[in-house]
């Protein structure tokens, strides 16, 4: 594009500035994460952490972030598996749905506890040294 006075660099500079800011604001990726932890008779029965990249834009504002150490070009699954205990403690602080059942039959007690984090959208900002993970509310 050329302006009337022949100064097309000014127009190009404004366009590139707008493009850079729009890309910088949308640089974070969004992931859907769910977690399920099952305990039967005081023994860990099953633990499942599911991570999937969101196909749609998630609505909400990020809050209560956690920073996890990351290697360059590592995927979110690898970052979380490397820092699993820290991330699981973080999920517990966010709040889990708890289901408990207990049955007693012939003086034998059977109990089941299920901790669940419903599928939640997280905004993830990757850097060279860390990943900032924030749930959306």
Within a domain: 12: no
What's the pLDDT tens digit per position in 20-59? 444 444 467 999 999 999 999 989 999 999 999 999 999 9
Within a domain: 18: no
Within a domain: 113: yes
CA 67 – CA 63 distance, rounded (Å): 13
Within a domain: 58: yes
pTM of the entire predicted model:
0.72
Within a domain: 109: yes
Within a domain: 37: yes
Radius of gyration of the chain (CA): 23
Within a domain: 10: no
CA 92 – CA 87 distance, rounded (Å): 9
> Could you give the number of structural domains in the chain?
1
Residue in the structure block whose two tokens are 């669940």: 116
CA 51 – CA 88 distance, rounded (Å): 13
Structural domain of 43: 28-135
The torsion angles phi and psi of 2, rounded to 5 degrees, stand at: -125, 130
Phi-psi region of 70 (alpha: psi -120 to 50; beta: other; left: phi over 0): beta
What's the pLDDT tens digit per position in 68-112? 998 877 889 999 999 999 999 999 999 899 999 999 988 899 999
Within a domain: 117: yes
């Amino acid at each position: 594009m050329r302006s009337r006075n022949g100064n097309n660099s000014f127009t190009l500079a404004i366009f590139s500035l707008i493009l850079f800011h729009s890309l910088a604001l949308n640089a974070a990726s969004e992931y859907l994460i769910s977690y399920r932890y099952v305990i039967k008779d005081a023994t860990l029965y099953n633990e499942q952490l599911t991570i999937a990249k969101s196909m749609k834009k998630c609505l909400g504002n990020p809050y209560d972030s956690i920073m996890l150490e990351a290697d360059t070009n590592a995927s979110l699954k690898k970052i979380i598996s490397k820092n699993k205990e820290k991330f699981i403690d973080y999920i517990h602080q966010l709040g889990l749905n708890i289901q408990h059942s207990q049955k007693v039959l012939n003086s034998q007690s059977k109990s089941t506890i299920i901790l669940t984090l419903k599928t939640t959208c997280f905004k993830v900002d990757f850097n060279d040294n860390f990943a900032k993970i924030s749930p959306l509310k």
